[in-house]
Structure 1
Amino acid sequence: MADLAKIWFESRTELKTRDIFDAKGQLNDNGTGAVYVYFNENNEALYVGLTSRHVKARLYDQTSPHKQKLWWGQWQTMRFLQISDDMDRQILEFLLILAYAPTCNQKPKAKNLDELLPN
């Protein structure tokens, strides 16, 4: 299921470079909420997250200021998908954490579905 979510996510998003991210108005983020993934130069997922606002707003949150995290200086590209429903964002975020196994997520921890849902 997680791998299908990853394929679905990637088919509906495009890689955005740091230059596009930094440029004003270039993300085409309408602020209705999103799930996002940041990747390093080897296209390995560093961090999967969600927001109920603009993606860039996570840079300045008091509880999670992304630009102060170690991984922030390491990302080269990112993807995001706007999803207005909170529960849908949470489900997709969890599935993408399972699929990508990002190195910098602290919670929820990336888990093996067989361990999470034993027979």
Structure 2
Amino acid sequence: LLRRSREYLENHIGEFSVLEHDRRIYGCVALKTFADPDIGELACLVVSPEAQDSGYGELLLEHLLGQARSRNIRTLYALSTHTGEWFLERGFQTAPSEALPPERLSEYHENGRKSKVFAYNVGANG
């Protein structure tokens, strides 16, 4: 997971959803949107180490898919350097980086992380 500056978080706080129980944060996820209203990105999905294997990742994914559906997003992308199997097991398909929206593709090339790209057809899977 990439570190995010305080400034980034303050400017993008509306994109984030947090999973909290008993005043304790167990995970978060963000929905990034683009100029093309049909496209979104699942970003910053993380679950606390002590809460992994508890189903919280699936809860965060379902929450984000609900947000995507309510915004009429058709394709949801996810980028990962090491958790690709998790996305594939949940209905995502591998996709070429060139499928990303232009503004995301330029960022993809700039950061040099060579993340794997996954796509989820929100309408077909919901």
Structure 1-normalised TM-score?
Answer: 0.28
Structure 2-normalised TM-score?
Answer: 0.27
Structure number with the higher strand fraction is 2
The structure with higher relative contact order (CA 8 Å, sep 6+) is: 1
